[in-house]
Amino acid sequence: MALRLTALSGALFSLALGVLQPAMAETVLERISRTGRVNTVVMNGDLPYTTQQGNGYVGLGMEFAKEIQKELSDYTGKKVQLVAQPVDSINQAIAAVASGAVDVSCGAGFSWGRSMFVDYTLPFALSGTRLITPVGNDGTPASLTGQTIGVVKNSVAAHAMEKTVSDAELVLFENPQAALSALKNGEIQFLAGDSLWLLANRSAVDPAGNVTPTVPYNRSAVGCIIPENSSGMMNLSNLAIGKLMQAYINDDPKAQSRINQWVGPGSDVNLSEADIKAYFTNVLLSAALIGLP
């Protein structure tokens, strides 16, 4: 079953002791300014956040990573390159950020356990744990008794299902792509995960399946993560995220096109512009709305 929080915490704490200490001599911003590059975690099959397309990566998370890149370029006064760093698992992603090996990862669901090792930016999405289920199954705990459910190892969804659905068998997959392939190939009939991820990928792997239940098993914000105690990087990242959200609220056509292609009207997620604006506004009102030229 999914690794317990204590096991994950122990592994990341050991990694921090062995890797983080030498990196403390140089801040994240100093390193980015010196190297002219900001390294970002990417994972294939993780739409709407990131996925491989040709030789590069695309997705909602990449749109916000690009905004952070632009803000860093303005701050340093020189062109900063956004460099994708592919990983094969959630553990690798969290460990890479916690160790300082990479600078940012956009598309990370919030968990209190992870927040002990990395810092979260302003969120840019709200999701929750649901399932792709066969027609006729409503995804509630009672309907999952005796079923085999696929989950991505160490995901927020894996921990949620482990805690709430005790009478089902969980099959762990190393990464999102492996889990989606198993559903498409008929190895599993139930797949639990981030609601937006399920909606974004359902048509490609199980178009006849339903995303259930109506009320998710949990709710979690989705944003970017950065190495802990990097206040300068945090401030610039939040400003970049806030600017793109504010531009969307202000009906900037370019900003709306960038967001809508992944989660807006006509996408597989198919959220309304009104719902996206309402969420962005609520996030910004937790700090302040941003005046854009």
Same fold, 5-126+219-285 and 128-212: yes
Q: What's the pLDDT at 289? A: 73
For 140-164, what is the mean pLDDT? 96
Residue with tokens 């390193």: 31
- The domain limits of the chain are 5-126+219-285, 128-212
Third-level CATH fold of 5-126+219-285: D-Maltodextrin-Binding Protein; domain 2 (3.40.190)
Q: Mean pLDDT over all residues of the chain?
A: 92
Q: Which amino acid belongs to residue 119?
A: D
> What are the respective helix, strand and coil percentages of the chain, to the nearest 5?
45, 25, 30
Give strand ranges (E) for the chain. Answer: 37-42, 51-53, 56-58, 81-86, 105-109, 118-133, 148-152, 169-173, 190-194, 210-212, 219-227
Dihedral sign computed on CA atoms, order 157, 102, 84, 66: positive
**Superfamily (CATH) of domain 128-212:** Periplasmic binding protein-like II (3.40.190.10)
| Per-residue confidence band for 16, with pLDDT thresholds at 50, 70 and 90 | very low
Q: Which amino acid is at 183?
A: L
Distant-in-sequence, close-in-space partners of 275: CB < 8 Å, separation ≥ 6? none
268-279 CB burial, b ≥16 within 10 A, e <16: bbebeeeebbeb
Q: Please state, in angstroms and as integers, the Cα–Cα distance from residue 127 to each residue in 1, 88, 181, 198, following that order.
A: 23, 22, 22, 10
b/e map of 208-221 (b: 16 or more CB within 10 Å)? ebbbbbeebbbebb
Q: Please compute the mean of the pLDDT values over residues 39-44 and round it to a whole number.
A: 97
List pLDDT tens digits, range 246-290: 999 999 999 999 999 999 999 999 999 999 999 999 999 988 777
